[in-house]
Amino acid sequence: MGQVQATTDREVTLQNIQELYRKFTDECPSGNLHLHEFKKIFGVSSKSPEEEVAFIELVFKSFDTNKDGKLDFMEYVAAVNLVLRGKLIDKLKWSFKIYDNDGNGCLTNQEVRRIVKAGKHGSKDSDSNVETVDYICDRIFELTDKNKDSQISLEEFIEGAEKDPWLMEQLRLDLAPKSWRRSVAKFTEQPEKWN
């Protein structure tokens, strides 16, 4: 009986993916989602703050696994799956990858500050915004850098996030699931099936 249910769930998922692929190729005849289209999905334009533009470009690059400057269908599905259905540990590993600008496996204060600042782009008061960014970065390091080497390893990042709700909120890059649902809706017209 359990096998029948599992098979049905898999068939529904396969059907959703097939429909997503059909719509994806209708909207992206080249078979690729380009950066400018990705930005449009998230409402980022040339008038957006510089930090917001830089952040969405980092996100795009993180999903462009073959580094060809565009998302093919498989990369797009992997991104949607991670954001909408991914496990917490996978989302934290992905968040770490976004923070780790140089890819060396450790986060510096500068790398953390860059992402925190991008997340605070909406503040009107730039002086208090800088104080807030400083406070957040200092607290992140205080709570995660267990060996006090002024770097945060992936293990420290995950352990800290799992232990402290405030830290989890700061470190997890929750990419507005509503935006992703709109993105999926653009291609499927049935976003509720991806919940």
CA torsion angle for 39, 41, 44, 45 (degrees, to 10)?
A: 80
Domain hosting 137: range is: 14-188
- Domain containing residue 52: CATH number: 1.10.238.10
Q: Across residues 172-177, what is the average pLDDT?
A: 61
Kind and range of the H or E element at 4? Answer: helix 2-27
- Whether residue 9 has pLDDT greater than 50: no
The alpha carbon of residue 173 and the mean position of all alpha carbons in its chain are separated, in whole angstroms, by 5
What's the chain's average pLDDT?
80
Q: What is the 3-state secondary structure (H, E, C) of 28-69?
A: CCCCEEEHHHHHHHCCCCCCCCHHHHHHHHHHHHHHCCCCCC
Q: What share of the chain in percent tops pLDDT 90? A: 37
Residues 6+ apart with CB under 8 A from 87: none
In a domain, 154, yes or no: yes
Number of domains in the chain: 1
In a domain, 6, yes or no: no
Rounded Cα gap, residues 9 and 20, in angstroms: 16
In a domain, 51, yes or no: yes
What is the per-residue pLDDT across 12-71, written as a single tens digit (0 to 9) for each? 478 878 888 888 888 888 999 999 988 888 888 889 888 888 888 988 999 999 999 999
Core vs surface per residue 148-185: b (16+ CB within 10 A) or e: eeebbbeebbbbbbeebeebeebbebebeeeebbebbe
What is the per-residue pLDDT across 115-140, written as a single tens digit (0 to 9) for each? 888 776 444 444 445 568 899 999 99
In a domain, 40, yes or no: yes
In a domain, 195, yes or no: no
In a domain, 4, yes or no: no
Q: Is 72 helix (H, G, I), strand (E, B) or coil?
A: strand
In a domain, 194, yes or no: no
In a domain, 2, yes or no: no
